[in-house]
């Protein structure tokens, strides 16, 4: 092979990459781009090998890219549920914020929160781009919960609980802080130089013995980096506000507000609710239309933009409800007292007053800063009893509300809203543990308040979307379902004699209506819900598929959701006459706030599910070896998920424990099939199972078929 041929090919390769510095190409793609004949593939391969050895070309897997031509950007590693690896890099450029996914192998030793230098590569056959971590500029503090294992005289390893970072962390024995084998701990990484060698760390807190319920709840709080207490700066700011009388309602502020204290308003909430975001009022107008008032706690009056309270609320994103514990978005003084719409207490609110005709059309609405005094704190059950027995406080108002709810609900369904009926369970907690689990009845009063909140949220989004100023906003959006997933649902329900057109929302509605009251109702609902896209926050409005709304947002819960707080601010400023400076400000933040709020919501949901599973496992420990009837709720390559009746607690029958045959997954038909006897287990099948093992630490309930 001549040196001149190699030299010429090398120059051609370099010239191509200089013209296309961000390209990432496989060998065959590059050969075609250069027009190299197949007979000269060997020369091209040798040329590339030399360029790689010279560090001119970088090879990652089967792709080649130009090292010299790469432009480096400063960014931060973030968790990203939409990225295949769970990680992305956020880069701030002059023209906006860009987020690029990063493969795990391309992270080096970078973790969430690290400031990094990255190059951005693009692929030839698609418009997709990825980040590649070139250098770690600044390390964040990285702490994980995990279990101490392999303790020796000199060291131990901590296996982390993090679903993305399931690594062993090497800890010298003198940095274990007394932790023993099997203890759950919080470990902090102190050094990590090479991705193929375990990071080094130190134990900063011993949480207790793995599997103990109290320990596992402590683990849960630390694992998701929740904190029930608030930073000193927030506490001091709140104390200063109190000292200066800013938590009191002054007469000057009342004079600026719509006074609704004499209007009959009340809250209707779960019996264990401590923060009351919303109150409702309803009467008939002179022309016979309904005048519905939805009055929301005016959190934005107390939590000013850029304050310490605001920064912490943004960081938390949402309140988290962990069965027997709450991690609030705002300090209790605000969330449960000052902002909460307590009975007989005057409270500052932001109200939307809607005029609705008897066909359910919202003919007019207006947003007004207001003050109310809730006349009554109803639980759902109390309000339902008044309606059912036709006697009790505020009977006429509640009957009128029920009538309006029926009108709104009928109209919403007619316009394409999908109404899922999921079986919810009421869990009775006593001394931090489950005492009883029973089905939760979905009351009319629950649906009623839900419809009123939907109407308010819809009006808030329409108010902004139809404004001619093109105001930046946070929408709550829900994309159309994946066609492939809906085709799978259609195949699944066929076994129940149900025909589904996967591309028709009306057909989906008809299917859900047809299974009501049937044994397979909740399984069909559950499978359909799993096949839907997830609702998210976004600055781009694509509508809400599930609700059938063109415009939708979250306006009604600013005590526990940060996007609602921003929505309040934007609407208030729009009413007052928003200026160009503020428009530019909101344009700069709504994207990042939307994305962050979606991520904190996902994190909260995961934590809440884990909390439920911890207590369910504890509850089921008392029932080991007992037999339960159940419904097959899921099929995987590892086993069969079964929801046990009547608790609806889910466990798994592992394929290795099905001893009567060798079972094969038929994913297409939602079933497993025995190779020899052809016995089948399908989603929706009724079975009998015995609890064989419960592991609180792993959140696992193992079952065997009976």
Distance CA 139, CA 688 (A): 52
The per-residue pLDDT for 5 is: 57
Percent of the chain predicted with pLDDT > 90: 67
Backbone angles phi, psi at 357, to 5 degrees: -85, 180
pLDDT in tens, 221-279: 999 999 999 999 999 999 999 999 999 999 999 999 999 999 999 999 998 888 999 99
Say how many C-beta atoms besides its own lie within 10 A of residue 48's C-beta. 20
Q: 193 exposed, middle or buried (CB, 10 Å; 0-12, 13-18, 19+)?
A: exposed
Level-2 CATH architecture, domain 3-66: Orthogonal Bundle (1.10)
Tell me the mean pLDDT in the region 197-206: 96
What is the topology classification, in CATH, of domain 143-210?
A: OB fold (Dihydrolipoamide Acetyltransferase, E2P) (2.40.50)
Q: Is the peptide bond before 646 cis (omega within 30 degrees of 0)?
A: yes
Q: For residue 369, what are the contacts with CB-CB under 8 A and spacing of at least 6?
A: 256, 257, 258, 298, 348, 349, 350, 351, 572
Distance CA 19, CA 69 (A): 9
Q: Would you place residue 690 in the very low, low, confident or very high pLDDT band (cuts 50, 70, 90)?
A: very high
pLDDT in tens, 309-354: 999 999 999 999 998 789 999 999 999 999 999 999 999 999 999 9
Q: Would you place residue 419 in the very low, low, confident or very high pLDDT band (cuts 50, 70, 90)?
A: confident
- At the top level of CATH, the class of 624-705 is mainly beta
Tell me the mean pLDDT in the region 682-706: 94
Percent of the chain predicted with pLDDT > 70: 97
Buried b (16+ CB within 10 A) or exposed e, 106-136: bbbbbbbebebbbbbbebeeeeeebbbbbeb
The per-residue pLDDT for 433 is: 78
Per-residue pLDDT at 643 exceeds 90: yes
The per-residue pLDDT for 1 is: 44
Say how many C-beta atoms besides its own lie within 10 A of residue 699's C-beta. 16
Per-residue pLDDT at 130 exceeds 90: no
Q: Give, in order, the Cα–Cα distances in Å from 85 to each of 104, 105, 242, 592.
A: 6, 9, 46, 20
Q: Are strands 326-327 and 346-356 parallel, antiparallel or unpaired?
A: unpaired
Average pLDDT, the chain: 91
What is the topology classification, in CATH, of domain 72-138?
A: OB fold (Dihydrolipoamide Acetyltransferase, E2P) (2.40.50)
State the DSSP H helix or E strand holding residue 689, giving kind and residue range, or none if neither.
strand 686-695
Domain spans of the chain?
A: 3-66, 72-138, 143-210, 232-414, 445-612, 624-705
Say how many C-beta atoms besides its own lie within 10 A of residue 586's C-beta. 19
DSSP state of 132: E
Asked if 218 and 432 touch (Cβ cutoff 8 Å), the reply is: no
The per-residue pLDDT for 38 is: 83
Q: Would you place residue 470 in the very low, low, confident or very high pLDDT band (cuts 50, 70, 90)?
A: very high
Asked if 705 and 687 touch (Cβ cutoff 8 Å), the reply is: yes
Per-residue pLDDT at 161 exceeds 70: yes
Equal fold, 143-210 vs 624-705: yes
């Amino acid at each position: 092979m001549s040196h001149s041929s190699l030299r010429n090919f090398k120059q051609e390769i370099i010239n191509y990459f200089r013209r296309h510095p961000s390209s990432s190409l496989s060998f065959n793609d590059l050969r075609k781009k250069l027009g190299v004949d197949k007979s000269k593939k060997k020369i091209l391969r040798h040329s590339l090998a030399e360029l790689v050895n010279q560090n001119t070309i970088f090879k990652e897997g089967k792709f080649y890219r130009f090292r010299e031509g790469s432009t480096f950007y400063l960014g931060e590693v973030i968790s990203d549920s939409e990225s295949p690896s769970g990680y992305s890099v956020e880069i701030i450029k002059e023209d906006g914020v860009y987020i690029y996914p990063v493969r795990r192998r391309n992270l080096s030793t970078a973790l969430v929160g690290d400031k990094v230098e990255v190059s951005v590569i693009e692929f030839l056959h698609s418009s997709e781009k990825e980040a590649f971590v070139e250098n770690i500029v600044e390390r964040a503090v990285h702490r994980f919960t995990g279990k101490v294992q392999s303790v020796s005289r000199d060291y131990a390893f901590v296996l982390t609980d993090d679903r993305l970072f399931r690594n062993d962390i090497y800890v010298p024995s003198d940095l274990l802080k007394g932790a023993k084998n099997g203890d759950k701990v919080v470990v902090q990484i102190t050094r990590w130089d090479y991705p193929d060698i375990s990071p080094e760390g130190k134990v900063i807190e011993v949480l207790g013995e793995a599997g103990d319920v109290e320990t596992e709840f402590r683990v849960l709080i630390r694992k998701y980096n929740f904190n029930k207490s608030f930073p000193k700066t927030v506490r001091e700011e709140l104390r200063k506000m109190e000292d200066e009388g800013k938590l009191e309602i002054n007469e000057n502020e009342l004079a600026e507000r719509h006074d609704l204290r004499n209007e009959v308003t009340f809250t209707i909430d779960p019996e264990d609710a401590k923060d009351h975001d919303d109150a409702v009022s309803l009467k008939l107008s002179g022309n016979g239309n309904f005048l519905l008032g939805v009055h929301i706690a005016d959190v934005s009056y107390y939590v000013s933009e850029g304050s310490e309270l605001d920064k912490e609320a943004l960081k938390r994103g949402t309140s988290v409800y962990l069965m027997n514990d709450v991690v609030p978005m705002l300090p209790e003084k605000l969330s449960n007292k000052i902002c909460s719409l307590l009975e007989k207490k005057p409270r500052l609110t932001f109200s939307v007053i809607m005029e609705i005709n008897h066909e359910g059309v919202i003919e007019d609405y207006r947003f007004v800063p207001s003050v109310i005094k809730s006349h009554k704190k109803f639980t759902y059950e109390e309000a339902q009893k008044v309606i059912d027995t036709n006697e009790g406080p505020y009977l006429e108002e509640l009957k009128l509300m029920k009538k309006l709810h029926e009108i709104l609900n009928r109209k919403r369904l007619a316009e394409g809203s999908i109404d899922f009926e999921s079986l919810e369970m009421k869990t009775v907690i006593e001394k931090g543990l489950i005492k009883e689990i029973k089905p939760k009845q979905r009351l009319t009063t629950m649906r009623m308040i839900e419809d009123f909140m939907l109407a308010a949220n819809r009006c808030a989004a329409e108010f902004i979307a139809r404004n001619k100023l093109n105001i930046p906003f946070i929408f709550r959006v829900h994309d159309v379902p994946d066609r492939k997933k809906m085709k799978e649902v259609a195949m699944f329900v066929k076994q129940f004699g149900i025909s589904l057109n996967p591309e028709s929302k009306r057909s989906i509605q008809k299917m859900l209506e047809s299974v009501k009251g049937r044994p397979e109702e909740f399984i069909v609902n559950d499978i359909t819900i799993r096949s839907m896209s997830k609702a998210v926050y976004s600055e781009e409005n694509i509508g809400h598929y599930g609700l059938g709304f063109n415009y939708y947002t979250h306006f009604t819960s600013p005590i526990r959701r940060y996007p609602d707080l921003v929505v309040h601010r934007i609407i208030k400023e729009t009413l007052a006459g928003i200026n160009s400076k503020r428009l530019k400000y909101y344009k700069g933040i709504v994207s990042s706030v939307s994305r962050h709020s979606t991520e904190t919501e996902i994190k909260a949901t995961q934590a809440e599910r884990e909390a439920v599973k911890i207590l369910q496992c504890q509850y089921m420990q008392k029932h080991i070896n007992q037999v339960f009837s159940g419904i097959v709720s899921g099929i995987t390559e590892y086993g069969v998920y079964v929801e046990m009746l009547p608790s609806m607690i889910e466990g798994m029958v592992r394929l290795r424990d099905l001893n009567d045959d060798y079972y094969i997954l038929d994913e297409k038909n939602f079933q497993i099939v025995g190779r020899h006897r052809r016995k089948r287990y399908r989603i929706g099948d009724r079975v009998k199972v015995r609890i064989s093992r419960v592991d609180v630490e792993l959140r696992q309930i193992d079952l065997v078929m009976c």
